[in-house]
Amino acid sequence: MLTCPICAAPLSAVDNGVACPANHRFDRARQGYLNLLPVQHKNSRDPGDNLAMVEARRRFLDGGHYAPLAKRLAELAAERAPARWLDIGCGEGYYTAQLAAALPDADGYALDISREAVKRACRRNPQLTWLVASMARIPLADASCQFLASVFSPLDWQEAKRLLTPGGGLMRIGPTSEHLLELREKLYDEVRDYSDDKHLALVPEGMQQAHSEVLRFKLSLNTAQARADLLAMTPHGWRASAERRAAVIEQPLEVTVAVRYDWFQLDR
**Annotated binding-site residue numbers for S-adenosyl-L-methionine:** 66, 92-93, 179
Distance of CA 16 to the CA centre of its chain: 27
Phi-psi region of 159 (alpha: psi -120 to 50; beta: other; left: phi over 0): alpha
**Other residues' Cβ atoms within 10 Å of the Cβ of residue 189:** 6
Contact (Cβ atoms closer than 8 angstroms) between residue 80 and residue 146:
yes
Nearest Cα to 117, choosing from 178, 30, 19, 47? Answer: 47
**Annotated binding-site residue numbers for Zn(2+):** 4, 7, 20, 24
Element (H, E) at 138: none
Q: Is the dihedral of CA 185, 258, 229, 152 positive or negative?
A: negative
**Annotated binding-site residue numbers:** 4, 7, 20, 24, 66, 92-93, 179
Give the per-residue SS3 of 93-121.
CHHHHHHHHHCCCCEEEEEECCHHHHHHH
Amino acid identity, position 112: D
**Other residues' Cβ atoms within 10 Å of the Cβ of residue 104:** 9
Listing DSSP states for 159-226 in one string gives: HHHHHEEEEEEEEEEEE-TTTTHHHHHHH-SSPPP--TTGGGGGPPTTEEEEEEEEEEEEEEE-SHHH
Q: Name beta bridge partners: 104.
A: none
